[in-house]
Amino acid sequence: MRGVVLNGPGDVAVVDRDDPRIEKPTDAIIKMAAACVCGSDLWPYRGIEKTGGPAVMGHEYVGVVEQIGAEVKNVKAGDFVVGSFFASDNTCEICRAGYQSRCVHAELMGAIGTQAEYARIPLADGTLVATPGMPDDDLIPSLLAASDVLGTGWFAAVAAEAGPGRTVAVVGDGAVGLLGVLAAKQLGAERIVVFSRHSDRQKLAIEFGATDIITERGDDGVTALKDLLGGLGAHSVIEAVGTQESMMQAIRATRPGGHVGYVGVSHDVRLPGDELFFSAVHLHGGPAPVRRFLPELIDLIWNRRIDPGKVFDRTLPLEDAAEGYKAMDERRAIKTLLRP
């Protein structure tokens, strides 16, 4: 099969890879309907995150089950399925508490590489959720979004306790931040403020439910937010970047007793204990337990109540993956969908 590899910083290639096969009786093989490039794929692409030589890429996926292992019971060949970027058994104590991304048997899909024609899905029963039927083609981007960026934005909004009567601020205007806006709106937030300086992203944020845009960032952004809100920070802040600046911006933008939901993968972040202590905020985040939310998200998409697929503003054949990475790196695209 064909699949994407990153040979080194900036060097994306589509190469022949071995077809995946059932390795354990709990595996399934899926034929990819669509894959995509994640903001987190840009860390190694930019050389900020080191990879040891050529690495398979991709951890978001939707597709049709081709084959199942002997112990798989919840999905069957022919099902259209969505899964999370962490495979999980969905039965252990951690999964049952809703933290499937930290399942005691969790496997990272990035190591399998779903920017490819096929993929092996470990722990298929606990990982995959079948849609009610074969989706219309226009639903595929939204279902693919559920696999990571929507699920991650949704988790961030839940972690930030977005809800009725609450003001939500969103740090990060990438796909996850924008879908954090959508999630906050769905969860009933009263006011949604987005930090963004890109007009295309501002436009989509407003379409998803943002009520206010702030173009300043860092401490200037915090000052602008407090001016907007009459002196206090937001009740809920979503952090979807993962840098020192964005984390401190999120913490400082939150009122005492408020909630920060952070999902940007932390890179070189060191949180000062004294400032965190006196901020009196709640801090929760990490790799999103997307599996927790998949049934609800699939239902919302299937019934066309949300359209998260709008974050894909570029669609390319899998063979053109290199251009997909480049467009996102240069901010010419919010998110690239790859068609195998």
* Contact code string over 152-191 relative to its own copies, x by CB under 8 A: ----------------------------------------
- How many CA atoms, within 13 angstroms, populate the side-chain half-sphere of residue 236? 30
Residue 169 near residue 237 (C-beta atoms within 8 A) = yes
Q: Which is nearer to its own copies, 198 or 282 (CB)?
A: 282
Rule CB under 8 A: is residue 110 a binding residue for its own copies?
no
Rule CB under 8 A: is residue 123 a binding residue for its own copies?
no
Rule CB under 8 A: is residue 277 a binding residue for its own copies?
yes
What is the C-alpha to C-alpha distance for residues 82 and 273, in angstroms, rounded to an integer? 39
CB atoms within 10 A of CB 144: 28
Residue 177 near residue 153 (C-beta atoms within 8 A) = yes
Q: Which is nearer to its own copies, 83 or 261 (CB)?
A: 261
Question: Which amino acid type is present at position 209?
Answer: G
**Element (H or E) spanning 179, and its range?**
helix 175-186
Rule CB under 8 A: is residue 97 a binding residue for its own copies?
yes
What is the C-alpha to C-alpha distance for residues 223 and 184, in angstroms, rounded to an integer? 22
List binders of its own copies among 225-244 (CB under 8 A).
Answer: 231-232, 242, 244
Q: Which is nearer to its own copies, 60 or 239 (CB)?
A: 239
**Cβ contacts of 190 within 8 Å, gap of 6 or more:** 164, 165, 166, 167
**Cβ contacts of 76 within 8 Å, gap of 6 or more:** 65, 68
Rule CB under 8 A: is residue 269 a binding residue for its own copies?
yes
Residue 269 near residue 242 (C-beta atoms within 8 A) = yes
The one-character DSSP state at 308 is: G
Q: Which is nearer to its own copies, 66 or 107 (CB)?
A: 107
Rule CB under 8 A: is residue 274 a binding residue for its own copies?
yes
| Residue in 9, 257, 295, 317 binding its own copies, rule: CB under 8 A | 257
Rule CB under 8 A: is residue 262 a binding residue for its own copies?
yes
- What's the closest the beta carbon of residue 193 comes to its own copies, in angstroms? 17
Tokens of 94: 């951690």
Q: Burial letters for 82-92: b for 16+ Cβ neighbours within 10 Å, e otherwise? A: bbbbbbbbbeb
Count of positions on this chain that bind its own copies (CB under 8 A):
40
- What's the closest the beta carbon of residue 274 comes to its own copies, in angstroms? 5
Residue 163 near residue 187 (C-beta atoms within 8 A) = yes
| Piece of 18-26, 95-103, 308-316, 320-328 that binds its own copies (CB under 8 A) | 95-103
Rule CB under 8 A: is residue 279 a binding residue for its own copies?
yes
| Piece of 3-11, 27-35, 72-80, 252-260 that binds its own copies (CB under 8 A) | 252-260
Rule CB under 8 A: is residue 136 a binding residue for its own copies?
no
| Piece of 36-44, 116-124, 282-290, 316-324 that binds its own copies (CB under 8 A) | 282-290
64 backbone dihedrals φ, ψ, rounded to 5°: -110, 135
| Residue in 126, 221, 287, 308 binding its own copies, rule: CB under 8 A | 287
| Residue in 1, 94, 206, 228 binding its own copies, rule: CB under 8 A | 94
Q: Which is nearer to its own copies, 134 or 271 (CB)?
A: 271
- What's the closest the beta carbon of residue 256 comes to its own copies, in angstroms? 3
Residue 316 near residue 323 (C-beta atoms within 8 A) = yes
CB atoms within 10 A of CB 66: 15
- What's the closest the beta carbon of residue 107 comes to its own copies, in angstroms? 15
The one-character DSSP state at 331 is: T
Binding interface with its own copies (CB under 8 A)? 93-94, 97-99, 101-102, 104, 231-232, 242, 244, 247, 255-257, 262, 265-274, 276-287, 289
